[in-house]
Amino acid sequence: MSQRSVLITGATGIMGGWVLGEALRLGYAPIALMRDADLGRARERLSSVLRLVGCDRFLDDVRIVQGDTQALNLGLGGRRGRELKASLEAMVHCAACTSFDPRLDKELWETNVGGVKNVIEFLSGTDVPLYHVSTAYVAGDRTGCAYETETDCGQQFNNTYERTKHESELLVREAIAQGRIQAAIFRPAIIVGATEEGRISQFLNFYSFLRLVDVISAHPSAEWRRIRILASPDATKNLVPVDWTAQALWAIAENEGPSGQTYHLTSPNPSVLQDVVEWANAWLEPCRVRVELVEQYEERASALERLINASLRYYRPYTRGETLFDRTNTDRALGDSFSFPSMDHAHLDRMLQFARQQSWQGIFGCRPDGEESSYADRITRFFPRLPEASAVQGRSASARSEDRLVAVK
């Protein structure tokens, strides 16, 4: 395959790293736009990402360009920008802020909306295709089925992240309609660890629940206790492995190009929350703990339950239910040969075990933020360590999948 130059933003992010790795496997000549002022530091970070995705041997094949999507002309200046555009055959925009924390609202708007404005302006009037990474959750609070052909349906949004990603999609759509750019939009669902070994660069969002399981499983209870979490047992969680997501994006880009279409990179069979809880209870059974999902408390919540539910408060809208995501465009573009991997208990095991191996530390040394770490520390105080605690460590749920769970009286 001939070398095709592609500019990737967010190449050291959760999805961007795998998009970069897949580009290398496909024979592209990737250019990573990075904000690091120090080129050596940028190269070190890129090396960490490529090692994670199994492409560290290709480090010298990646060109680093120092720039910033939050700056006009991507911070490249007139001549550098023109030379870069002239060399490109495509651009994949992965850079985004994904926090649900309202304290980061300013960064969300600047990165997710301001950054897209600058990307559009940079490519405007060129024939360089833009592959824009959005999120399936631009569907907001709508119910029923969210179609790939829909963007603004009058939906409300659960947080600023959803709203900013929706606004950025509208900008891309407007630019396509005006003939300023050629583009396609990709909407991943909840990105989690890769199909092999559960590898991922950071432990965010859905991993908050996995971390609770890990913390509690390391602290056996002296007697059986029940922990009620506010959620609908029938709600689904659309989890997608990060490697499949990147592979699907490139397969669609190569098959259909800048089609002007939107593609849901989602699971055709999303996980049901009750099934995820059954997985968790297999881990927690030796600790004499059982999690139950309830839509409201019939009895007063315990101090531990209040603490755990407070730690999950940013994700509460996603535990009540979610829309179904139409995959008409995605299924057409991928065809029958590109199957979706099984998101079973064994995959959840791999995700948790990888996080444990990394001590819940991301590849750049980042850990869950101070508030979340504080919750984890406070939760352990409810579980005095018992002599048999060491025996519980490392027991996978899949290894006990046939065991009968003990009901909590």
pLDDT tens-digit map of 315-344: 999 999 999 999 999 999 999 889 999 999
Q: What is the pLDDT of residues 395-406, one digit of tens each?
A: 455 554 444 333
Beta carbons of 81 and 36 less than 8 angstroms apart: no
How much of the chain exceeds pLDDT 70, in percent?
A: 91
What pLDDT, on a 0 to 100 scale, did the predictor assign at position 372?
A: 57
Is the dihedral angle over the CA atoms 15, 241, 328, 249 positive or is it negative?
Answer: positive
Confidence of residue 369 (pLDDT cuts 50, 70, 90): low
Beta-carbon count within 10 A of 186 CB: 26
Residue with tokens 């979610």: 322
Contacts of 14 (CB under 8 A, 6+ apart): 98, 191, 200, 201, 202, 204, 242
Across the chain, mean pLDDT equals 90
Residue with tokens 């994904």: 98
DSSP for 283-350 reads HHGGGTEEEEEESS-SSPPPHHHHHHHHHTGGGGGGGS---EE--HHHHHHH-TTSPPPP--HHHHHH
What pLDDT, on a 0 to 100 scale, did the predictor assign at position 368?
A: 56
User: In the predicted model, is pLDDT for residue 168 greater than 60?
Assistant: yes
Top-confidence residue, 171 or 336? 171
Q: What is the pLDDT of residues 111-156, one digit of tens each?
A: 999 999 999 999 999 999 999 999 999 999 998 999 999 999 999 9
Strand 90-93 relative to strand 130-133: parallel, antiparallel, unpaired?
parallel
Confidence of residue 172 (pLDDT cuts 50, 70, 90): very high
What pLDDT, on a 0 to 100 scale, did the predictor assign at position 61?
A: 96
Q: Residues of CATH 3.40.50.720 domain(s) within the chain?
A: 4-191+239-265
User: In the predicted model, is pLDDT for residue 194 greater than 80?
Assistant: yes
- State the average pLDDT over residues 92-97: 97
Contacts of 405 (CB under 8 A, 6+ apart): 278, 281, 282, 285, 290
DSSP for 148-205 reads TT-S-SS---SSHHHHHHHHHHHHHHHHHHTTS--EEEEEE-EEE--TTTT--S---T
Residue with tokens 């199909």: 195
Residue 285 has which token pair? 């059974």
Beta carbons of 53 and 62 less than 8 angstroms apart: no
User: In the predicted model, is pLDDT for residue 303 greater than 60?
Assistant: yes
- d(C-alpha 73, C-alpha 294), whole Å: 50
Tell me the residue length of the chain: 409
Beta-carbon count within 10 A of 380 CB: 13
- d(C-alpha 408, C-alpha 389), whole Å: 20
- d(C-alpha 58, C-alpha 268), whole Å: 33
What pLDDT, on a 0 to 100 scale, did the predictor assign at position 163?
A: 98
How much of the chain exceeds pLDDT 90, in percent?
A: 79
- Inter-axis angle of helices 370-380 and 303-311, nearest 10: 160
* CA-closest candidate to residue 193, choices 239, 236, 160: 239
Beta carbons of 257 and 320 less than 8 angstroms apart: no
Q: Terminal CA-to-CA distance of the chain, rounded, Å?
A: 63
What pLDDT, on a 0 to 100 scale, did the predictor assign at position 398?
A: 53
* CA-closest candidate to residue 339, choices 147, 135, 195: 195
Q: What is the pLDDT of residues 4-59, one digit of tens each?
A: 899 999 999 999 999 999 999 999 999 999 999 899 999 999 999 999 999 999 99
What pLDDT, on a 0 to 100 scale, did the predictor assign at position 384?
A: 65
What pLDDT, on a 0 to 100 scale, did the predictor assign at position 234?
A: 95
What pLDDT, on a 0 to 100 scale, did the predictor assign at position 219?
A: 80
Q: Write down the CATH number for the domain with range 4-191+239-265.
A: 3.40.50.720
